[in-house]
Amino acid sequence: MNSLKGKVCLVTGAGSIRGMGHAISVRFAREGASVVVVDKEMAPKSIWPGEENWRGLEAVVEEIKAAGGEGLAVVGDISNSQDVDNIVAKTLDRFGKIDIFVQCVGIRGPMATPIVELDEKVWRRVIDVNLTGSFLIGKAVARTMIANPEGKKMVFISSLAGSRGYAGSAAYCASKHGVIGLAKTLALELAPYKINVNIISPGAFETNLRDEAIAERAKAEGITVAELLKKQAEGPRTGPQIPLGRMGRTEDIANLVMFLATDQSSYITGEEIIISGGAE
């Protein structure tokens, strides 16, 4: 398993224990790559019992090393252009190039607030992180790729919410629609260099993305988070809306990212691939 030997990968949003970025980073390392992992905090919290002491990027770097790769942790906010410059500078300083870029940073924002009630500040924050963050980091990384574009690949994680409306989730939904527009445009602009840019739109996955919403619901029901999670695990987990009958797992995403990061997908660019167990 060294199909990415010699490659340098940059994965943003890689610090959460249950996150896609975490799974992708470890997969890349297993395939022989060096991996730079980025998150806004060194150790994003998880509400799940037993995960209180998660050490975040530090732990991910250790997993990367254990898989035989080289790792580097950078704490940075991709919605801040100085932080973005710092992420790129540190990566180039250590590894000299970026071959594969995967943008996983995303915040969920409110899940049940109708537009007529949605606070402007909350809206701005979600758009800023998910959409402007994708622009800033995508732009900065693309600039480093153009001079020597061979085999360079970019993947943006969007969402099913990038192609349909979700009542109560306007900010998330609009930001993810925007990410698709951005990535498709970038794909056209980088096609002359033969740099592939693609989008993955996941359906419902078992990650930390909804931790905040779960914590709020537990509070509303007057039970602890642990109790709510237990209740959810015992109930029907997915509802009828996922034809394959289960939520996605982060390794499902890592498998698809891997396909898009290799020479197996060289004629695919500007494409949005939905991975949702058949849910639309």
* 206 sits near another protein (criterion: CB under 8 A): no
Instruction: Kindly indicate which of the ranges 11-19, 46-54, 163-171, 237-245 contains the residues binding another protein, using the contact rule CB under 8 A.
Output: 237-245
Token code pair at residue 129? 């992180």
The answer to whether residue 172 is catalytic is: yes
Q: Stretches 115-123, 149-157, 207-215, 253-261: which one binds another protein (CB under 8 A)?
A: 253-261
Q: Which of residues 14-43 bind another protein (CB under 8 A)?
A: none
Nearer to another protein, 54 or 101 (CB): 101
Q: Does 261 bind another protein (CB under 8 A)?
A: no
**Is residue 268 near another protein by the rule CB under 8 A?**
yes
C-alpha angle 271/24/253, rounded to 5°? 50
Scanning 59-67, 72-80, 113-121, 258-266 for contacts with another protein by CB under 8 A, the matching segment is 258-266
Q: Does 277 bind another protein (CB under 8 A)?
A: yes
CA nearest to 80, candidates 19, 125, 21: 125
158 binds another protein (CB under 8 A): no
Among candidate residues 166, 172, 193, 267, the one labeled active-site is: 172
Asked if 48 touches another protein (CB under 8 A), the answer is no
Which residues bind to another protein, rule: CB under 8 A? 1, 3, 187-188, 191-192, 194, 243-245, 248-249, 252, 255-256, 258-259, 264-271, 273-278, 280
